[in-house]
Amino acid sequence: MKKHDVIIACDFPTGQDALDFLSQFKEEKPFVKIGMELFYGEGPDIVKAIKDRGHNIFLDLKLHDIPNTVNKAMRNLARLGVDMTNVHAAGTIDMMRAALEGLAEGADSERALLIAVTQLTSTSQERMQRELLIQAPINDTIVQYARNAKEAGLDGVVCSPLEAGMVKEACGTDFVTVTPGVRFADGAKGDQVRVTTPARAAEIGTDYIVVGRPITEAADPVGAYRRCVKEFMMQ
């Protein structure tokens, strides 16, 4: 698994939609994110079906519960053989440690990378303070959540590309950053707030970018994917 890659967010309502989409890729085997919509609709079978086609998989379920529950859930997810999965950093260091232990115990061989979500890219400073009553600046919160994830032994975090540099500075260059909120310069932001381009994400130093609608809803998805790879890898 490369440590510098574009991950396509396959947020489709059915497994057949996802498989039909991926069938367009004849030469490449892109890294794929399976999120809640697809996993809850199709279950573990869609993971196996996509894995059997040769794709690396980021299973994006953002577990957030008491440590014991997350530990047991991760033991089950480990058996799916995905390459990366995640929890919410807001679940505390104890929960993240329990998740890591469960993931390691359930793995048949090498465990998946485990990363923690800091703040969703749809969250703004104003919403965080007004709705969540978190009064610290959003960047300080994200960096502290990243430090907590590192203390728990996790491999990295999910953050917006705008914060990837700060996370690397606080947690070290080997601490993985996975960044959604990436859009082409000539594209729409959609419902995400903290966004940037593939090229700028690479300049900031993120390891993986997660790109959904700019690729999946493009008139030419393969061409959009190749453009994204080119812009991200050229730095």
Active site residues: 62
User: DSSP character for 224?
Assistant: H
Partner residues linked to 138 by β-bridges: none
Tell me the backbone φ, ψ of residue 75, rounded to 5 degrees: -60, -40
Spatial separation of the C-alpha atoms in residues 41 and 116, rounded to whole Å = 23
For residue 13, the tally of other CB atoms under 10 A from its CB is 11
Q: Decide if 121 contacts 181 (C-beta within 8 A).
A: yes
Among candidates 36, 40, 42, which has minimal Cα distance to 17? 42
Spatial separation of the C-alpha atoms in residues 8 and 220, rounded to whole Å = 14
Tokens representing residue 104 in the block: 């390691």
In sequence order, which ranges of 14-78 are alpha helices (DSSP H)?
15-22, 36-42, 44-52, 67-78
What number of residues does the chain have? 235
Spatial separation of the C-alpha atoms in residues 197 and 33, rounded to whole Å = 19
